Structure 1
Amino acid sequence: MSQPPAQPALTPQFCFSSLALREFLRLSRSAIDDSITQNLNALVTPSASGFDPASTHQRGTGAAFSSRGGRVDGARCAAFKDKVLFPTWQARSDVLHYCAAVATSPDPDDPSAALREAEAERDRERVIDERLDPYSARFFPTEARTERLAALLRMEKGVENIVRARTWAVVRERCDPAGGGFGGGEEAWEAALGKWRAQRHGQQNGP
């Protein structure tokens, strides 16, 4: 299994770098979600000492490792879910939530602020006569970088929901609820992730 990228330092500069933001999300999805079938196939022969997130780097071949594969023991799936899948999803959620806050916060350092002010001034001075020029009333100001970031985040959140639903469907199909307590059933990924977050929060705040 390819290791997902480490969560980047959360700064406004990172969020405003659309290339860096999109690359982190792409690499994270590629390592875990886009390879979910192969990652689950690798759990069929886990480490003898128990689940090791690094143990899934070896992917099996042959009839036992078809494109969909067979059932994977529920306990092994649960360990993969708790130690690899959900932490990876959470890292992406943290990035998206942080950048969403940046997109809705004041941005006094926006380098395009002066340009937009100049555009607004020119627009106020324009003479609009739609009888002579039906397009004279049109005005397309330069977008603030917070607006561009918000648009990017809306798109990426939509992609994230699709990716997670697809991944979770494969996990539920492949993981055997009778094999050790995975208990996927028909539970939606949002509910399963919410339970994991609550459990982690309880562990962090336990005695």
Structure 2
Amino acid sequence: MPPSGSMSQTSPHLTPHFCFSTTALRDFLRISRSSVDDTINQQLNALVTPARAGFDPSSTLHRASRPLARQVDAQSCRGFKDKALFPSWQSRSDVLNYCALVATSPDPDDPIRIEAKNEKNQEMVVDERLDPYSARSLLNEPRTEKLASVVRQERGIENIIRSRTWGIVKERCGETVETWEEALAGWQRANAQL
């Protein structure tokens, strides 16, 4: 959970229902990613101190090649990482870890299990020639398996996004920590001591 006053989105109220609603889960992840990771260059640009002399109109006389990304001062970078980037990553990790736990737990409310139990209780025999859809519940996977698949997929996406974002942070902030995993672990250790 991000600290209060954080610029990132906080975790939603975590319940199994939230996880099984894969649309809500994916929406949370998409919105969180778009607020920090997808706009990383713009956010870092906003941290760069504007020119002290103000806007120079002569700067528009010549078209220049793409300007090099400007370095962001260490204090601004640290504040951005501590208040926005890492809390956002931690929030998404918390959600994915919780939903992974839900996906590996027994699900007494699984509609497929309930339907199978009801059919077994009724001991109904249906001829598939008369009702070709009678076996449809056998084709469906339990929702815990569907959730586990979504969590695996989203963790893969998360890894790609964090690697890309960390590469930009390293370049713009002069960061020496090699991987996002090491950087996040360091932030977690520092916050655990508070």
TM-score tier by shorter-chain length is 0.7 to 0.9
In structure 1, how many angstroms separate the alpha carbons of the residues matched to 2:8 and 2:193?
Answer: 25
> In the alignment, is the contact (CA less than 8 A) between 2:177 and 2:183 conserved in 1?
no
Q: Structure 1 residue 187: deviation in Å? A: 1.7
Pick aligned residue for 1:27 from 19, 27, 31: 31
CA distance in 1, matches of 2:192, 2:169: 24
Contact 1:116/1:142, CA 8 A, preserved across alignment:
no
Quick one: structure 1 residues 164 and 67, their matched pair in 2 at CA, closer, same or farther if it must change by over 3 Å?
farther
1:185 lines up with 2:183 in the alignment: no
> Within 5 Å, which residues of 2 pair with 1:92-131?
92-116=92-116, 118=119
Number of the residue aligned with 1:87: 87
* Residues 74 and 173 in structure 2, CA contact (< 8 A), matched pair in contact too: yes
Q: Which of structures 1 and 2 has the larger relative contact order (alpha carbons within 8 angstroms, sep 6+)?
A: 2
Q: Quick one: distance in 1 between partners of 2:179 and 2:39? A: 20
Distance 2:164 2:38 in 1: 9
Q: For 1:9 and 1:165, locate their aligned partners in 2 and report how far apart those are by CA, in whole Å.
A: 27
1:166 to 150, 154, 164: 164
Q: How many residues align?
A: 164
1:152 matched residue in structure 2: 150
1:67 CA drift (Å): 7.3
How high is the sequence identity, in percent, across the aligned residues?
Answer: 51
Q: CA deviation at 1:83?
A: 1.0
Would the alpha carbon gap of residues 68 and 36 (structure 1) be closer, same or farther in structure 2, given more than 3 Å must change? farther
> Is 1:37–1:67's contact at 8 Å kept on the other side of the alignment?
no
C-alpha deviation, 1:125, in angstroms: 9.3
Residue number among 29, 37, 45 corresponding to 1:41 in the alignment: 45
> If the length of structure 1 is used for normalisation, what is the TM-score?
0.71
Displacement of 1:69 in angstroms is 2.4
Change in Cα spacing, 1:148 to 1:169, as seen in structure 2 (3 Å) is: same
Q: Tell me the C-alpha RMSD between the 2 structures.
A: 2.7
State the partner residue of 1:77.
77
SS of the equivalent of 1:108 reads coil
Shift of 1:141: 2.9
CA distance in structure 2 between the aligned counterparts of 1:73 and 1:15, rounded to whole angstroms: 39
Distance 1:6 1:90 in 2: 9
CA distance in 2 between counterparts of 1:27 and 1:162 reads 16
Tell whether 2:192 aligns with 1:194: no
Q: Deviations over 1:147-192 (max 9, x none)?
A: 100000000000000000000000000114xxxxxxx225211001
Structure 1 gap ranges (5+): 47-61, 128-138, 177-183
> Would you say the 8 A contact 1:116–1:141 is kept in 2?
no
**2:180 and 2:191 mapped to 1: Cα distance?**
16
> 1:78 Cα shift?
1.0
Q: TM-score, normalised by structure 2?
A: 0.76
The one-letter code of the counterpart of 1:97 is: N
Q: How far did 1:5 drift?
A: 3.2
Where 2:10 maps in the other structure, the secondary structure is coil
